[in-house]
Amino acid sequence: MTKEYGLPCPVAKTLDVIGERWTLLIIRDLLSLGPRKYVELSQSLHGIAPNVLSDRLKLLETHGIVEREYYEEHPPRALYRLTRRGADLRTVLLALLQWGNRHLYDGVVAVHATCGHDLTLDTVCEECGESVRPNDRRIDYRKREAARAVGITL
pLDDT per position as a tens digit, 89-107: 999 999 999 999 999 999 9
CATH number at residue 77: 1.10.10.10
Residue 126 lies in a domain: no
Residue 137 lies in a domain: no
Domain that holds residue 70: 1-87
Shortest CA distance to 56 belongs to which of 107, 19, 83?
Answer: 19
Residue 61 lies in a domain: yes
Query: Mind listing the pLDDT tens digit for each residue in 41-87?
Result: 999 999 999 999 999 999 999 999 999 999 998 888 999 999 999 99
Residue 50 lies in a domain: yes
Residue type at 98 in one-letter notation: Q
Burial group, residue 117, by CB count within 10 angstroms (0-12, 13-18, 19+):
exposed
Categorize the per-residue pLDDT at 154 as very low, low, confident or very high, splitting at 50, 70 and 90.
confident
Provide the number of structural domains found in the chain. 1
Q: Cα separation of 91 and 89, whole Å?
A: 5
